[in-house]
Amino acid sequence: MILICVKWKVKPEHAEAWPEITREFTEATRAEPGNRFFEWSRSLDDPNEYVLIEGFDDDAAVPHVTSAHFKKAVAELPQYVAETPLIRNLQGQPEEWDVLAEFQAP
């Protein structure tokens, strides 16, 4: 599995609307074959920063970046961001989530 983490610094005037701005891209990506998850979170420290966690089967990343909705996002989303997003791309990750052994719920 490929695990991707992207930090998005959104312009302050678009931060509240970011989930709606990215909705079409998010829904289309989640519907792709080989997509395991595509989850947005908002930073607790910076209300203008969103973190995107993506998981794809090893052979699904190429179709993702060549898809029409990805190309549309690349063309349209830059107007809403304050800086180029930062990315971490890790390949060969386990396919399932592990339990956090150091922390157990009651």
Residue 20 parent element (H or E): helix 18-21
Domain boundaries, the chain: 2-90
Given pLDDT bands bounded at 50, 70 and 90, which one contains residue 84?
Answer: very high
Q: What is the pLDDT of residues 49-79, one digit of tens each?
A: 999 999 999 887 778 889 999 999 999 999 9
Domain 2-90: give its CATH code.
Answer: 3.30.70.100
With CA atoms as reference, report the closest residue to 83 among 14, 5, 7, 4: 7
The rounded distance, in Å, linking the Cα atoms of 69 and 61 is 13
Segment 87-103 shows an average pLDDT of: 89
